[in-house]
Each structure stands twice: as C-alpha cells, then as structure tokens.
Amino acid sequence: MSLCRKAPSRGMGRAAVNLLPRNVSIPTACNLPSSLPFSTCSRLCVSGIEPARNGKKSSAKERQRAERTQLTRLLKESPGNRDARNFLKHFDSPTKPEAPAESPKVEHPKSEVVARAHHNEWRLTRTGVNLGNLYEPTKAVQNSPVFTREVLESPIQDKSSIEPLHLALVKLRQPQILDDETLGGIALTLSQMARLGLNLAVVVDCDEDAGPDTLEIDASWEAEVRDQAARIIEALEEYNEPGAFEVDHALCYANVGREVPSTVEVRGRVEVQEHHLLFPPIEDGIIPVIPPFAYDSEFRKVRVRADEVVLALTREFAGITTQISKGDQSHGLLGIPVSNKSLLDRVIILDPLGGIPSNIREDGAHVFINLEAEYQDVKSDLERSSSSPSKAQHTRPQLAIRHVKNLALAQRALKLLPPSSSAIIITPAEAAISSQAQFLSTPSTGVRTRRSKNPLIHNLLTDKPMTSSSLPAPLSTRPSASAAPNAATFLKRGIPVTIIPDPRTTGPWQPPSPSHPCIELADDPRIDFPRLVDLIEDSFRRKIDARHYLERIRGRVAGIIIAGNYEGGAICTWEAPPSLSEPPPPDSPLWIPYLDKFAVLTKSQGSGGVADIVWNALTRTCFPQGVVWRSRTSNPVNKWYFERSLGMWNLPDEQWTMFWTSEGVVEEWARKRGAGTSGNGAEMEMSRWDAYVDVCGGVVPSWADGKRPD
C-alpha cells in the first residue's frame, strides 16, 4: 500500500505641532509645564521641537515611504503574497501613485527579462528589509515577457486621504547585558520595520528580575539607564535615517484609584502628559527612546517600572487617555482610538528569557497564546512553577515570576487595543537576526545562499508566529539544553473557544451509550445551528443538505468546537465500521473518533490563528489519543493536514486521502497482519487500521449541489 508516515539624532523634521495640543489635562494627574526641556542626543536641539521645514515631511521619511511602496508592490507580485496578505491589507498606502503615461508594449528578449528580474531583486536588497523567502522570483516569472516599467518614486498624496499612523511599542529589557553587535542587530531589525511603515517607540528596562518598589532614584541606576539609552540611540541612528532621541519628560506620576469598574486599565499611576514630545517626531520616522522616569505633582523626577511606561504609552497611542480627559469614558473603556489616524499594531517585548515556557512542547515555549481562552491556564501553570523550585535549576521560581509579568503585560496591553493588534515576546538575539545572506552547503548543489528569516519581520508581514502552534511538538525540537532561552511567543487578545460537551468539566468524550447520549446539533440550545450551517457553507463554498446531514450523524455526535462568534469550528462523530453487522459495544476500540467537519470562515482563513485555535482544542483537549479524517485527494489543504498528522494514506478508490493523529496504528496493523498469516488458524480481528479505512471509505457526503464532495 502507498503509505506516508512522518518521523516523530538627526533633525526633527516636519513637526505637526499644531495638530496636537501642548497641554492636555488628565483628572487627578499632574500637569507639567510645556516649556520643560527634554533630553536628546547631541544632534538635536534641546529647547524643544524644531520648527517645521516649510510644512513638508523630512526627506528621510519620504524616502522610506517610497521604499515601502516599492516593497508592497513586489510583495503583491511575489509567489508568496498570500503569506503577506495581512501586511498588504493594513500597511499598503491608501493612495495610489499617478499612473505613468502608457508606452508601446514591446516584448523584450529573454536576456533583458532576466536582467530586469535581477535588477528588481537588487532594488529589494538595497532597501535592506529582510523579507525571508516571501520574495523569490520563480523561473516561470523570469521566463515570461515583461512589458511594464517600475520606477521608485514617491506617490502623489491625496490631501483628503489620511494615511494611518501604524505604531509599535518595544520594551528592551536588560540592554546592559547585550553586546554591541546584538544591539546593532536589534537596531537594524527595527529600522527595517520602520521601512515597512511601522513607526516605533522604545522603552528602556534596566531592572533586574525583582526591581525595587521605591520611587526614589538611585544615582547609579539612573546613570546606567542613561548609558543604555545612549547606546540604543547610537545603534538606531546607525540604521534609521530619520534618527532617534531620548524623551524623559513626557510622563507624569500620580496615585489615582480606579474610578470606574472595568476589566481593563483605562487609568494608571503613570500617564503621558506631554504627548507633543512623542507624536510629531514619530510621524517623521524618528524613534523616541523612553527611560522609566516620570514626574510627580511636585515636579520631582521619580522612578517607575518599565511595564507601567508601556501601559501608559499604550493608553496614549490608543487614544484612551485623551478620551478620559474629555470626559468621554464610554469610548475609553472600549479602547477605541480618538481617530483612525493612529493604530498601535504591536507590543514587542525583548527579554533575554525569551517566550512563555510550555511543558508540552519540545521547543520549550508557547508558540501562540489565545489570551481570551488560555490566559488563566498559562498563568496558573507559571505560578505553580514559581512556587515549586526545580532541583536542576534553583532560579526557576524567579524566572517564572518574570514570565508571569511578561504575560500579564501583554494581556493588559492587548485588552486596551483592537483585536487586530498583537504582542510578541522574543529574545534580543532572535530579534537581532540579520538579513545578510547565509552560505549553506548541500550535497547536490554545493554552496548556495539564502536569507535568514527574522521573526519580527516575519510576524509583521504575516501576523503569524514563525512556527504554527498546531504543529505536533516533535516537529519543533529544542536546539540545546533546557537552560537555553525559550523560543518566541506570539500573543493575541484572541477569541473564546466553546466545546460542547466540555471535556475539562464533564470528562473525556465517550462513544454513544445509554449513560452517554449524544448531543443533537439542531436541538441543543447551546448551539446556533443556522450559524453553524453558514460557517460550513462559507468555509467549503458550497451548500449542504442539512436534513440529510443531521440524519446521517444522528446518535453519533461526539462533540462540537466553536471558535469565537462562529468564526471557526469542528464537528466530531463516533463512527463504527460499515462492514460490521451491528454496532460495537460502547467500550469497543472499534468506535472510531472521526473529524467530520473542520471549517473556518473565508475572511478568517490564513490570519488570526483561528484554524490553529480550533485544531489545538481538537487534538489536545477533545481527542488527545488521536482522531482520523479524510479529505479529497486533490484538496490543496492536504499539505496543512499532513503537517499536523502522524500519517496519511490514499484510499483504494483514489478519491480520498486518509489522515490520522493516533499513535501506533500502522504498527498494530502490521502485528495483526503477521499473526493472521502465520498459519495458526486464529481468526484475525479487525485492526484499528482496517476500521479507519472502512470508516473513511463509508462516510456518505451530504452536499446539496450534487458535485463531487470535499
């Protein structure tokens, strides 16, 4: 049989000073004089914002805009543009460049076509953005005639259209332990993200694992923070053409109580008071570096935690602080920005410890956390680790506390932001991965080169982690000992997951029996059956015969998984092999756990992690011992299925491919097959393999269009 089984400071530029008031009152918070100077590097004026340059943006920002336009154009035409769909949706310029005058279409010789392909690749390399393998011209493209001409020019802006200001907050923890090379690599990555249209602000965190709770500033600590801020600015100026500067007079500190009960922190002890020190430079592409200093009501400089600074900036960039100051708390509670001009897309935590640890993955970290459904469980696991020290690593409790703080920071920040925003916790070393070509040696081709993938650039382009969280753990192996930093963790506010019945409260799903009756999809009040039908039909792009389907699965439904507001889901059944004369007893292994429907709304496919969320619930919570399913052999989704299964086999009818996640299925089949042909005369019982094949070949489709089923 055909069987496939897997092995286990520059000028300040145009400052839109008049766009924002220089002094916004915050209730119960201190008001700082707007004339207070702020610290900058030596190349900046120290008395305030430099006057506007004839009302125009800095030339560096215009060049970055032109480069981004070129990059988005290349991504649209690249073979991997599906992976970059999220980036193109959010970061593509709302205005289009003026179309050049049409010229006669002349077919060029093949040599000129190839030369143009190489020229485009050089222009992409010149911008310095590490796109990984998202832009790789194929032979088919190179061999095709090219009739158009691309010019790297600034698009003509429509004054009636306002381009959103995309923002990212970066917290760099313990920069004092980083060497200059790593810090330079981080600066290179951040400058590449800026070229792609993501404006940045960096928060400096020099605290140890357990920082003091005092507001008093220690002279040695302040000196270290200043030194590290200067290092970060120097590194950023090396790669970010608009420059970088230090801002330490934008924050104020006040002891305020929670005035409105809320699940999100719309108020904090640290707030942004002088936001005109932040927004105009950011709009010009300049990166502000913000140390954890603030000023109290008596204008004394106090020490605050970097996490509080991040949350204060999150509230400011999301528009919540301004809404509260205007008395409009209904918008602030929801975290809706003042306008669509600014959008905080990312919260990036650079921590030497890496991502949030996980005991169920070989790479030692949670690849993706759906905070809405997983936050409490992950936090509880970390807290248990902090209270039970490991014999092999006596510092584990202290590290677990730091991981809890990183998790809480991401969760508190994302609660203030739209669902499209995300957070990523990653080591500085990973963030510093260079875009320089790496030399690789292979037996067949000898020496070749490729660009290394940078996790932050990959995440910006795809809105996904480097590794899918639904891939089996054995495919992601930890590169070294457990003492190594954890892999990156990608976090989203996410969506709730509903499992009916819930194995976490009612116990594992059981085959149908008088003591375990099956649920009925159309009659269960917990299920919105019309919405479920809409989900299936949208995902499969075809109509289902609901009456026939309900009749076929009646008395066999094991359970159902619903992600979010019916954005994705799975229907699982217990199937008995059709060749049996009567149903097996409830405790028989011949009741097969079967994935009958796996669906994700078209608009949610490829982003948001909906498919991974449903798959993790299916394989880790509902059927941890394994599940089987089938798919049309020509289905393009089969690659995704294969990566998440333990094996696949094409059924004899050549129409269906069977997949499974159960351990030992093939080995059991081989043992029983050997025993049945040994000549001992014993009747061979049906193996799980035979039952799987029988079930997958006997399921009757319920589509209403009469076409070949999927």
pLDDT tens digits, one per residue of 341-354: 678 999 999 999 99
Q: What's the order of all strands across the beta sheet hosting 368-370? A: 244-246, 287-290, 199-205, 165-173, 342-350, 422-426, 489-492, 368-370
Q: Do 363 and 468 meet the contact criterion of CB atoms below 8 Å apart?
A: no
- Per-residue pLDDT, averaged over 535-550, amounts to 95
The dotted CATH code for 12-494 is 3.40.1160.10
Query: Taking a C-beta distance cutoff of 8 angstroms, is the pair 253, 296 a contact?
Result: yes
Instruction: Give the number of other Cβ atoms within 10 Å of residue 679's Cβ.
Output: 6
Q: Which band of pLDDT confidence, cut at 50, 70 and 90, is reported for residue 617?
A: very high
Output the average pLDDT for the chain.
Answer: 77
Question: What pLDDT, in 10s, does the model give residues 253-273?
Answer: 987 665 555 566 667 889 999
pLDDT digits (tens, 9 = 90+) for 412-461: 999 999 998 999 999 999 999 875 444 444 444 444 444 568 999 989 98
| % of the chain at pLDDT higher than 90 | 47
In this predicted model, which residue has the larger pLDDT, 3 or 223? 223
What's the pLDDT score for residue 604? 86
pLDDT band at 389 (very low <50, low <70, confident <90, very high): low
Boundaries of CATH 3.40.630.30 in the chain?
A: 497-698
To the question of domain 497-698 being in CATH 3.40.630.30, the answer is yes
SS3 675: helix
Q: What is the C-alpha to C-alpha distance for residues 469 and 489, in angstroms, rounded to an integer?
A: 10
Cα 609 to Cα 160, 424, 536, 549, distances in angstroms: 35, 14, 18, 28
Residues of the chain with CATH 3.40.1160.10: 12-494
Cβ–Cβ < 8 Å for 438, 423 = no
Q: How confident is the model at residue 320 (pLDDT cuts 50, 70, 90)?
A: confident
What average pLDDT score do residues 242-250 get? 93
Size of the chain in residues: 710
Q: With 80 as the cut, is the pLDDT of residue 585 above it?
A: yes
What per-residue confidence (pLDDT) applies to 19? 34
| Phi and psi based region of residue 241 (left: phi greater than 0; alpha: psi -120 to 50; beta: remaining) | alpha
pTM check: above 0.85: no
* pLDDT for the residue numbered 285: 92
Q: What is the pLDDT of residues 618-647, one digit of tens each?
A: 999 999 999 999 999 999 999 999 999 999
Longest dimension (CA), the chain: 98
Which of 1-5, 82-86, 210-214, 527-531 has maximum average pLDDT?
527-531
Per-position b or e across 184-216, b if 16+ CB within 10 A of its CB: bbbbbbbbbbbbbbbbbbbbbbbbeeebeeeee
